[in-house]
Amino acid sequence: MEWRTSQIPVDYETALAVMERRVGGIHEDGLDELVWLLEHPPLYTAGTSAKVEDLLEPRFPVFDAGRGGQYTYHGPGQRIAYLMLNLKKRQQSPDIKKYIWQLEEWIIRTLAHFDVNGERREGRVGIWVVTPAGEKKIAAIGVRVRHWVAFHGISINVSPDLSHFDGIVPCGISEHGVTSLHDLGKNVEFKKLDEVLKSEFAPVFGRS
């Protein structure tokens, strides 16, 4: 099991290429699984369910992600975790729904360390928080699975420019907004967030 942290923003094409190589290596050659913590420069990604009308203003580059889900924004101030995991090794009976639940649980447990109550919502992917202005999304999830090796992963809004989300309908949901740890009054450093993500990983996904 390898953990990798990139200190400068990673181009999206580079990240996709790394994931593709590692997923193939895990399946064909038994390479170690990888959790990669990073940021991207400002960009939008389109999942396999993305609707053209949900791209309101393409002010940043738009990439076809190949993962499930719809449009998502990535940019500085957002912690992205790409997980390349062998579900056959980690689950007695490989189950994508269980894996999504585990990703949600990982985020919820991590946010709890910063006194933020992240919640699931039926029919809505991602993790949500209740604010005085209503429910808002604080973390997104998008995955792809090939030969039971999962890749792509999660993004947690730490301190991104929330106005950058205005160019899309995030995940196809227009009735609820987005928020961040900073927006909630939590000044969290990436280093501390990464430490918590690492500490909560094994309790949720097990040890390889």
Residues annotated as part of the active site = 171
Q: Whose CA is closest to 31, among 147, 196, 143? A: 147
Q: Please name the residue ranges forming H helices in 32-149.
A: 87-90, 96-112
Q: Whose CA is closest to 70, among 181, 174, 177, 162? A: 174
Q: Whose CA is closest to 140, among 59, 66, 91, 67? A: 67
Would you put residue 109 in left (φ > 0), alpha (ψ -120 to 50) or beta? Answer: alpha
CB distance 161 to 75 below 8 Å: yes
